[in-house]
Structure 1
Amino acid sequence: MQLAGGFAAASLAAAPIYRRAFAQGATPEATPEASPVIGGGADPQMQEVLDALVAFGAPPLSNVSPFAGRNLPSFRDAVQSVLAERGETIIEPVGGIEHILIPSLDGETELVARIYHPEGAGSDLLPVMVYFHGGGFVIANLNTYDASCRALANATGTIVASIAYRLAPENPFPTAVDDAYAATQFFMGGAGVVGGDPERVIVAGESAGGNLATVVCLRARDEGGMMPLHQVLVYPVTTFAPEGESLESIQEYANAIPLGAADLEWFGMHYLADPSDATNPYASPLLATDLSGIPPVTMIQAEIDPLQSQGTAYADALEAAGVTVSRTLYEGVTHEFFGMTTVVDKAAEAVAQVASEVNAALGS
């Protein structure tokens, strides 16, 4: 389902994401590069992963089709390469994994949810974390972010439900939003099917998944749906029309890996079939006129990340709207660091921080 082909590639001329910024002269090529790999500043553990990723010799994501992009080496492959060099194979054990099907919002299809049960769980109903993976709404899948879900399940003691929402360009905006909302409402009404407590449901996501996690809360508020107790937003995409403060890190880290400015443009081109959707608050929550009435937020940010500034701008906007936000910027790491707990110490620190704040929010 995730690797379906047969899409019609959109025209680059129609790409809305970051086009405004580049028109002002802040092109990736014009941005000074402090390092040939990421823009400088990575700590040694992070750099080891980046070197492994570069060693694959893959073409830039922005130079290939979405189907080809889904088959390029990922940060997960780089982590496995680092472990292999050490003669190690580390997969964090969990209490159990199962898969269930969830009806889509329109009832025309079913979505796969991979359910991670934490180690040592008893027979009591557990909180549920509805988790949305990253990948720019175009690439990646449940396997790509498996390590994050395992770590989160064990650290938080929650049942993590990782959702295989449909990808663009085969299913452009707002399909991913619809799928994420359907999954969230499903678990808030029926978490018991996986041994979960429907009264204790939170949402979480990385990158594009962070966008979906906060957007489902806005939509629940707007439509009178059931509201999660907490949001965990890990370097979230918050706008497809950045300017001012939200643009700064895009310029500073235009040439970063595993995510650079050209990649962001490529994702936006394929996710938003209609360029005018770039200002829709369900695509760009930073542009919402009202952010009040949604749950408290734990935000994790990476220093070497073009999304850093828009995450900061969103946190500022949430606080201005009266939403409680806890935010932490981890220095010396890049986009996608969160799932690298087996090789990057700061990833383990970030997961532990999320666990502490989630448990406080859940009263655990």
Structure 2
Amino acid sequence: MASTVDIPLAPEWLEWEAKIGARPVLSDSVPHMREQFDGLGKLLAEQWGEPIPGVSTKDMVTDSGLDVRVYRPDASADKLVPLGVFFHCGGYCIGGIIYEDNLVRNLCVRSQTVIVSVQYRHAPEFSAPTALNDAADATLWAVKNAESFGADSTKVYTMGASAGAALSVSTFLKLYDDGHKDLISGIVSLSPCFVHPDLVSDHAGKHTSFVNSNGVLPVIDENSMRIFYDTYNAPLDHPHIFALNYPDMSVFPKTYIAAAEFDPLRDDSVLLSEKLALAKVDHKLKTYSSLPHVFWLFPIPQSLTFFDDTAAAIRDVLSL
């Protein structure tokens, strides 16, 4: 837990912090972060309460042995609906399906799409590019089996949060380069991470969101991201994992990017948006003011707005 330094966070966020008496921030080491995130996840599940109605779930295992959870909107049970493949947050090292169950349920119901949430493998047990390979493998599996869970394999989007948001992009790029050029129709990337702190200077002063973040910003800071990146151990010039390295941004499908003002990853989103704009890719960047990283996991009013915004973005990237 970090001290509650005076930064102009939203009153609703500060009220939530006051209730628990501290500011949550993942710190120290991956094992400690796993303990922290597990405790936080249990607290948030209790605070959110009963799962929202209108969605059915089924836990499955892919052909390669990955655990997934398939979410289907009950209101669309009699027809095929678009397919989303979701990758959880956690810096490639922590997190999982259960911690973002509330988010995915809400997006499933609000967007009326089937969503397959993927439990990709984590570092340090499985270093780079395992998470990316798992994400691509699970996406191909989901598309192959789409009709069996009521989804349309011709209307597919990738989506994720934080490291999972990076995976939503890098999975598209890997599959594109592997010859699946028309498989993914859209990307929904929620606070992605693309810039290692050691490479901030490469961006000519355009990346400032790491500055003075340590011990100040909620949830993660620069130190957190160093631990995650160093543990995942991906080459810093990797064109898929660090997608700002990709040589031809014009291949991107329609893309939606969400960012938060008080997030050390805020400018990762800004830089991606700038590159997509230069490549004339149809995309949108929405920044949520006065809020921290993955604020939507927390039971504050802005999370409900975020669910609606993101569901609308899902339908928009699919041109529905």
What is the TM-score with the length of structure 1 in the denominator? Answer: 0.80
Q: Deviations over 1:172-230 (max 9, x none)?
A: 11000001111112222331121111011111000000000000111122121152111
Match of 2:295 in 1: 337
- For residue 161 of structure 1, report the CA deviation from its aligned partner: 0.6
Q: Deviations over 1:278-331 (max 9, x none)?
A: 221222111222222121111111111000011101111112122111111111
Q: 1:246 to 1:102 in 2, by over 3 A?
A: farther
Are positions 1:160 and 2:115 aligned together? yes
Bigger Rg over Cα: 1
- For residue 361 of structure 1, report the CA deviation from its aligned partner: 3.4
Q: Deviations over 1:214-254 (max 9, x none)?
A: 00111122121152111001010112233334530010433
Are positions 1:40 and 2:7 aligned together? yes
Match of 2:33 in 1: 69
After superposition, residues 346-361 of structure 1 pair within 5 angstroms as: 346-361=302-317
Equivalent of 1:151 in 106, 117, 122: 106
Match of 1:242 in 2: 200
**What letter corresponds to residue 221 of structure 2 in structure 1?**
G
Q: Distance in 1 between matches of 2:310 and 2:270?
A: 17
Are positions 1:223 and 2:171 aligned together? no
Q: Distance in 2 between matches of 1:99 and 1:287?
A: 35
Q: 1:179 to 1:311 in 2, by over 3 A?
A: same
Q: Is the 8 A contact 1:246 1:310 kept in 2?
A: no
Q: Is the 8 A contact 1:117 1:158 kept in 2?
A: yes
Q: Deviations over 1:90-128 (max 9, x none)?
A: 422342110111133xxxxx1011011124222211111
Q: Distance in 1 between matches of 2:188 and 2:21?
A: 30
Q: Which residues of structure 2 form unaligned runs of 5+? A: none
Are positions 1:260 and 2:260 aligned together? no
Q: Is the 8 A contact 2:59 2:67 kept in 1?
A: yes
Q: Over the residues paired in the alignment, what is the CA RMSD in angstroms?
A: 2.2
Q: Deviations over 1:256-281 (max 9, x none)?
A: 12011110111011111x6xx02212
Q: Is the 8 A contact 2:4 2:22 kept in 1?
A: no
**What letter corresponds to residue 257 of structure 1 in structure 2?**
P
Match of 1:98 in 2: 58
Aligned identity (percent) is 23
Match of 2:251 in 1: 293
After superposition, residues 127-206 of structure 1 pair within 5 angstroms as: 127-206=82-161
Q: Distance in 1 between matches of 2:255 and 2:5?
A: 28
Q: Which residues of structure 1 form unaligned runs of 5+? A: 1-34, 105-109
Partner-residue secondary structure (3-state), 2:122: coil
Q: Is the 8 A contact 1:213 1:231 kept in 2?
A: yes
- For residue 77 of structure 1, report the CA deviation from its aligned partner: 4.1
Q: Say which is worse superposed, 45-54 or 175-184, in terms of deviation.
A: 45-54
Partner-residue secondary structure (3-state), 2:208: helix
Match of 2:267 in 1: 309
Q: Distance in 2 between matches of 1:112 and 1:203?
A: 17
Q: Deviations over 1:117-175 (max 9, x none)?
A: 12422221111110000000001111111111011101100111100000001001100
Structure 1 segments of 4 or more deviating over 6 A?
Answer: none
Partner-residue secondary structure (3-state), 2:60: strand
State the aligned residue count: 312
- For residue 38 of structure 1, report the CA deviation from its aligned partner: 5.5
Q: 1:36 to 1:70 in 2, by over 3 A?
A: closer
Q: Say which is worse superposed, 70-79 or 180-189, in terms of deviation.
A: 70-79
